[in-house]
Amino acid sequence: MTTLLFSHDACLDHNTGEGHPERSDRLRAVNNALGAAQFSALDRREAPEVSRQTLILNHPEAFVEDVFARAPLDNQIYLDPDTIMSPGSAQAALRATGAVCAAVDEVLAGAADNAFCAVRPPGHHAEPDRAMGFCLFNSVAIAARHARNKFGLGRVAVVDFDVHHGNGTQAAFWEDKDLFYASSHQYPHYPGTGASGETGQGNIINVPLPAGTGSGVFRSRFAEHVFPALNEFKPELLLISAGFDAHADDPLAQLNLQDEDYGWVTDELLAIADQHSGGRVVSALEGGYDLGALGRSVAIHVQSLMQTGD
């Protein structure tokens, strides 16, 4: 068994413009890190395009069509003050979501233990009817519904350790008790959601962390809140919104995680997946804006994924 790596060069063509933090160099940093010799065993796959039919499992068809209709032929347009489309953005978004759905297909078919999707744009801020926060479509939420629609799964979980709350995933799962969402994030901070009292149907676990929080509190809050709830939920598939911007070096927030925290949380999540879902895990890149910290943190995260089948 093995770990899959899904990516596509089209994700480099999502051009957000000079000075934007969610830039193509992020994916280049990830690709460079995963090009090291210790990652030679990764099974590298080209991300396919997701179908429109799959997108509308999570997003209204009118919203999906509007996003594609607004794609510019040249230059850039702003969907909101943070979220940009360039001529290559629609194709990048199709490949980003296609990667996560294809990874779900392969993992659920038993072709691999797990997978990491090195893609952009990210997805967890995209609400069912709104693109925002650098995100066009919510790749992980779409993949969760795809897993249930195609494979008949009952319970699918998403765990999100990005420094920003995944308001889009929470909104998508809010009314569905068989979709679980847990998020640790700086609070108060963008996008303003993610208070501990936001619980949906009892399927939402928010772990707000004040600015300055470091490794010890991060780990204890996961151990006290996220892991017990995830064990109680007993997911048949675990998806990870893998944002690395809670790192102490990241310029967009003020948490103080270190490289090794990402290995720790990945190992703990894999242990829970082994217990409840046959080890079936698919992870997708979300945030992370210091290139050095991003590359190192992704490397540790993927090393943990690769060790699960040893």
The residues annotated with a catalytic role in the active site are 125
CA-to-CA separations, 274 to 35, 101, 270, in angstroms, rounded? 27, 21, 6
Taking alpha carbons only, the member of 110, 92, 97 closest to residue 11 is 92
Secondary-structure breakdown of the chain: helix, strand, coil percentages, each rounded to the nearest 5: 40, 20, 40
State how far Cα 299 lies from the chain centre: 16
Query: What letter represents residue 177's amino acid?
Result: K
Q: Residue 45 is inside which H or E element, if any?
A: strand 43-46
Instruction: Collect all residues with Cβ–Cβ distance below 8 Å to 295 and sequence separation of at least 6.
Output: 29, 30, 32, 33
- Which residues make beta-bridge pairs with 283? 116, 240
